[in-house]
Amino acid sequence: MFETKVAILVAGDLAPWQKLNVTAFLATGIAGAAPEAMGEPYEDAAGRVFARLLGQPMLIFAADPGDLARAHRIAGERGLTCAAYVRAMFATGHDAANRDAFRAEPAEAPDLVGLALRGPRKDVDKAVKGARLHP
């Protein structure tokens, strides 16, 4: 059992490609913020080396706007590592524009379509309470 937990909440109203895109971006955010959570590189039977992966499972939840807002609030209150994706980022074409779109959102009520959290298990559980595991 891990002392920490990783959970990714993704808005249920997104197109499938958007859900996958948001999940991928958020997972890299958690990996970048928690390098200590990364496992060792993988090596195949021929000795070829592959990139490291996060060393613990990530739970993916289907979320509605209320789930995302609650998780965002609790993450801030409990100091969880948090990665966020807002709807306006779908209209941008590069990383700097994504950061500008994110910065333009209201700090207390961004239009979140995805949120990734990492921290103590009980705190992450509290943040995602009510959200359903993604089907």
**Structural tokens at position 24:** 């991928």
Q: In what order do the strands lie in the sheet with 81-86?
A: 81-86, 112-120, 4-11, 58-63, 132-133
Q: What is the dihedral of CA 22, 19, 94, 33, to 10 degrees?
A: 10
- The closest alpha carbon to 54, from 69, 41, 39, belongs to 39
Low-confidence ranges of the chain (pLDDT < 70): none
Residue 1 has what pLDDT? 79
Residues 20 and 11: beta-carbon distance below 8 Å:
no
pLDDT at 69: 97
Q: What are the residues whose beta carbons fall under 8 Å from the beta carbon of 78, sequence distance 6 or more?
A: 119, 123, 126, 127
pLDDT tens-digit series, residues 94-108: 999 999 999 999 999
4-133 maps to which CATH number? 3.40.1490.10
- Cα dihedral 63, 21, 26, 61, rounded to 10, equals 20
Q: What is the pLDDT of residue 103?
A: 97
**What pLDDT score does 133 carry?**
96
